[in-house]
Amino acid sequence: MTILVSRLVQAVVVALLVGAATFAMMRSLPGDAAWRIAAGRYGYDNVNVAAAEAVRAELGLDGPWLGAFLQWMGDLFRLDFGVSLVSGQPVIAEIGHQLGASLWLALAAVGLSLVIGPPLGILAGLRPGSLFDRVLLVVSTALKAVPQFLMALILILVLSVQLGWLPAAGYGQPRHFILPAFALALGLAAVNARIARDAMASVGAMPFYAFAQWKGLSRAQVLWRHGLRNVSVPLLTYLGLQFVLLVEGVVVIESIVGWPGIGHALVHAVFARDVPMVQGTALMLGLGFVLVNALIDLLAARIDPRGAR
């Protein structure tokens, strides 16, 4: 219960911070916002002073900041995110459209990373110091060190350009998922594997792990009944933190492969000074982080009763 309350407070704080930050951004962006927004709407060749002034008046870009700020935050708490300055569509509709695409990509990436990372990590953690353990350490450290945009470019060069197996970009078919999901998953799996390996090594060294074997259980039974459950708690907790990495990755990868998701939209909104869109996407990502971690807290409390009261 306390978990949920504290997460709820977090959600409100996130909303406040995102709202205030985007408002400040809107006010302090270099260049004349009215001109940029008008250009976004009508195209760079069609902007003139009249159009810019019309935008300025419409959006109240010249008004006193305090009144504008209060109205801004008021809208936010009525869950009215406003209208995209570029497309003229309600922000909420635009985001709803893009969120799905990103969600599927993120789920595919997390699923893939969980299939790759933890099993290898657990295997290494069962025999700490073995050749396999050391090789995995090197490989996972190297994979983690590769920035996600570079990973995506390498995969595109190798799988699409050289081998021609996969499309370099695109959206709509299952095969379009493979490349961006892998680009995201490899980095996540590298860390997952380390977490699982460390957790398995420390669980394997615990007296209860030895005692379970002394009771007469086979190695596989001990791993299945006592190992995995104990390894899952730190892994799960870390998964919540990984959401940050995931968002970072989604923003970068979506832009590279032209994925019509929320990360792609965020980048475009920033370039076009579409502040309501920036606010909407940032808020969605921030609240998503809180929601994911709340779910993970609940799940972890179910598995591990020691932290819960």
Token readout for 141 is 């450290």
Partner residues linked to 90 by β-bridges: 83
C-beta closer to other proteins: residue 101 or 239: 239
DSSP category for residue 84: -
121 touches 194 (CB < 8 A): yes
Q: Minimum distance from CB of 141 to other proteins (Å)? A: 7
Pick the piece of the chain touching other proteins (CB under 8 A) from 23-31, 57-65, 175-183, 213-221. Answer: 213-221
297 touches 7 (CB < 8 A): yes
Please pick, from the candidates 221, 267, 268, 292, the single residue that binds other proteins as defined by CB under 8 A: 221
CA dist 249 and 185 (Å) reads 10
132 scored as a contact of other proteins (CB under 8 A):
no
Please pick, from the candidates 234, 240, 249, 280, the single residue that binds other proteins as defined by CB under 8 A: 234
Buried b (16+ CB within 10 A) or exposed e, 3-31: beeebeebbeebbeebbeebbebbeeeee
Token readout for 37 is 């927004």
Pick the piece of the chain touching other proteins (CB under 8 A) from 53-61, 177-185, 234-242, 268-276. Answer: 234-242
Q: Minimum distance from CB of 33 to other proteins (Å)? A: 36
Site string for other proteins, 235-274 (x = CB under 8 A): --xx--x---x-----------------------------
CA dist 219 and 217 (Å) reads 7
Site residues (vs other proteins, CB under 8 A): 140-141, 144, 190-191, 194-195, 198-199, 202-203, 206-208, 210-218, 221, 225-226, 229-230, 233-234, 237-238, 241, 245, 303-307
